[in-house]
Structure 1
Amino acid sequence: MTDTGINRSMRLGRRSLLQSLGVAAIGISFGGLAACGKTSSGSNGKIAATGEEPKLNFYNWDTYIGETTLADFKGASGTDVNMTMFASNDELFAKLRAGNPGYDVIVPSNDFVERMAAADMIVALDHAQIPNLKNIDPSFIDVPYDPGRKYSMPYTWLTLGIGYRKSKVKVKPDSWKVLFDSDEYKGRIAVLSEAGDMFRLYGKYLGKSVNALTPDDIKTIAAMMEKQKPFIKAFHEDNGQDLLLKGEVDLVLEYNGDIAQIMAEDDDIDFVLPKEGSQLNSDTLCIPKGAPHPKNAHAFINYLLDAEVDKKITETILYPTPNAAAKALMPDDYKNNPVIFPSKEQLAKCEYAKYRPDIQPLYEEAFTRVRAS
């Protein structure tokens, strides 16, 4: 990736970004909604344009937002945003399973949109309050996991692959084998901590569809995972790019956008989609059932879908955006980056995961046993 067109200072790793944002200034918290329980300073009983108190609780990936997005939203609307962060869809689901503790907007991935809708955990969106839906590429509107975008708005799309340090590998690691079925880089690899993703990607390595695994396949894969576990340095919590950048590992299973961020900081880092294919994800904006500020939530989602706003977010997180109006504003070194936008041939081998209520508990039970072994 070249540095033309995108300000290098905006290409920060997730934890570096926290420092530049200034935690106190925008209400970022690591401790859940206990830190968000009081009305934010500056509210003082005021009413937002929506008629609700000027406050919003945002549960997001770490830190999956532009440098000034939350402060800019406050400037535009007068609404304070308290953002707390989760590390996996499993964590998000567990947090809301027993009831919404006070979140207004959440960011689940595609299969968890299906899962949460089936469990009556998210509410139908009022599209009349989200006119910026017009900015979204039509291919992201009528999607299998949420036909007609009843429950979710597209935020990003992404794929999983291998980030690696070029000086530490003998050849380009273009197969899942190096992570899943080899001791070649023992003690120097990190993989995901999310059960479903791990089992589905092992399935890809074995030549199966991510949506066609059987209980017998899960047993086979769990045995492979237990065999491979001694060679794994870490099951990372949404910070694989940090481990790679710091030199703690040489290969990591990560999202393309996260690796694109650190490639801008270190020329020795690269990313590859394995030849067996991979899993596609789409992260979305949803309103959980029981949201205390549903009108503010709609206003915030609409704001994030604004072309200029999403452009600033995309400049920071470097994930593929489904926002056609925002993408059109981005420079060529983003639009033509093969890490961010894999080729049609590569994408043809990738699939979106479907929520399978019969299989998901088996993923989680088996992965818990693997992690404890």
Structure 2
Amino acid sequence: MFKTSFFLALLLSFFSQVSQAQQVLNVLNWSEYIDPDVVSDFEQKYDAKINYTEFESVEQYTTEFFAKDAQFDVTFPASTMINLLVENNLIESLDKSKLSHYDNLSKDIMDTLANHDKGNQHSIPYMWGTTGLGVNTKALKRLGLTSKQDSWSLIFDESSRKKVKSCGMALLNERDELFSAALTYLGYSVNTTSKDELRTAGTLLKETLTDAIYLHTSQQYTDLASGKVCVIVGYSGDVIGSTEENADTAYFIPREGAPMWVDVMTISKNSTEKELAHAFINHLLDAKSAAKNSNFITYPTPVVAAKPFLEEDILSNPIIYPPQNIMSRLQAQAPQTRKVSNIKHRLWVKAICSGGKWCTVPMKSFF
């Protein structure tokens, strides 16, 4: 009798410990792209543990996401990646009944996202922004280039670029962002399907890359702040963050226009914690959580209900939250066909490898 009671007590204790074990959520997000307090708040609220993996580029996302035995519950791809993730049955349809803060989202951003995700069934916008120019205004003044500091001609016009080369130019290592910049400078749509226009842009990129010190996904921000380079191409929030460390630096949305992008939240097909994944996404859609994130990373949030909680210097900054006259110059990338992606990738490989400095890009790309 004693042995039986003792065994039952141990068994009950074991199941009690199992039931109380923390749930674990595996998250794949861009580096330094969330306020750590927002993560901690969620872990405390749901007695959960977040295993957080970061990536710095589309290429690195691909490596992490498709790694052998990889299992992520929530990932944060760019909106341009959604159509391929859906086509390959890699992400779940969302249960919007579990997203009580869904109505907090901007209709304009949702409409933009619907171009990639019909009916907004598989993704929720997380942040959005622009890709533009980070410059050292003092250095450009010395070179007589102040009038071009807010123009793509600073890097794509040969005479200007050769001057910039003397103080250092570093470019964002993202194929589609640089193609969009080149296409915009040439007066073409970022969504062109014309082989001739894509080839012209590819040739321009090839010429431009020969004068760049390097291509990178993050190093250029530190180097702009420290004065090691005077012109960079990068993501708005990251450039703005670096300019806070150097009063001579600034971010510009080029006068010709610029790429506008949206990063999204998705739930993977192989997620083992779909309920908790929905809860995490909903947590990030909460007005106060969204404002914390926007204030922390200096990117605009698509959660309109967050506005009362945004810091004034963030909300009033026309580079972070652009007015309509600037918004009208932005171009959002539409879903691109495999054919267009392949053309771009061949031209990208050719541009990178022609100089012999950075020829490490894969010959094929899933995205």
Cα gap change, 1:214/1:94 in structure 2, threshold over 3 Å: closer, same or farther?
Answer: farther
> What is the count of residue pairs matched by the alignment?
326
2:350 corresponding residue in structure 1? 369
Residue 169 (structure 2) aligned to one of 189, 214, 233 = 189
Aligned residue for 1:231, secondary structure, equals: coil
Q: Give 2:76's match in structure 1, choosing from 99, 107, 117.
A: 107
Give the one of 293, 303, 322 matched to 2:283. Answer: 303
Displacement after TM superposition at 1:76 (Å): 0.9
- Checking the alignment, whether the CA contact within 8 Å between 1:100 and 1:290 is kept in structure 2 is no
Between 275-284 and 335-344, report the one with greater CA deviation.
Answer: 335-344
Instruction: Give the Cα–Cα distance (whole angstroms) in 2 for the partners of residues 100 and 360 of structure 1.
Output: 27
1:89-104 alignment to 2 at 5 Å?
89-97=58-66, 101-104=70-73
CA positional deviation for 1:278: 0.8
- TM-score, length-normalised on structure 1? 0.82
Q: Is the 8 A contact 1:58 1:84 kept in 2?
A: yes
| Residue in 2 that maps onto 1:281 | 261
Contact 1:88 1:238 in 2 (8 A): no
Residue from 155, 171, 183 that aligns with 1:179: 155
Distance in 1 (alpha carbons) for counterparts of 2:67 and 2:43: 30
Tell me what 1:325 maps to. Answer: 305
Equivalent of 1:271, from 251, 258, 261? 251
1:149 is matched with 120
Which has the larger displacement, 86-95 or 291-300? Answer: 86-95
Tell me by how many angstroms 1:45 deviates: 4.0
Deviations 1:212-261 (A, max 9, x none): 14222232222222222221012111343222112221111112111222
Could you tell me which amino acid in structure 2 is paired with residue 208 of structure 1? Y
Residues 368 and 137 (structure 1), Cα distance of their counterparts in 2 relative to 1, 3 Å cut: same
| 1:245 pairs with 2:216 | no
For the residues of structure 2 that align with 1:331 and 1:157, how far apart are their CA atoms? 17
Q: Per residue, is there more helix in 1 or in 2?
A: 2
Instruction: Report the CA distance between 1:139 and its aligned residue.
Output: 2.4
Superposed displacement of residue 80, structure 1 = 0.7
Alpha carbons of structure 1 residues 189 and 76: separation in structure 2 relative to 1, 3 Å: same
RMSD of aligned alpha carbons: 2.0
Percent identity between the two aligned chains? 28
After TM superposition, give the deviation of residue 320 of structure 1 in Å.
Answer: 0.8
Mapped pair 1:76 → 2:57: no
| 2:139 corresponds to which of 153, 161, 168 | 168
SS class of match (1:141): helix
Q: Does 1:260 align with 2:240?
A: yes
**Who is 2:97 aligned against?**
128
Structure 1 gap segments, 5+ residues each: 1-43
The alpha carbon displacement at 1:209 in A equals 0.6
Structure-2 separation of matches of 1:140 and 1:223: 33
Change (3 A) 1:229 1:199: same
Q: Residues 217 and 91 of structure 1: is their aligned pair in 2 closer, same or farther, counting only changes over 3 Å?
A: farther
Structure 2 alignment gaps of length 5 or more: 1-16, 355-367
TM-aligned CA deviation for residue 280 of structure 1: 0.5
Larger-gyration structure (1/2): 2
SS class of match (2:299): coil
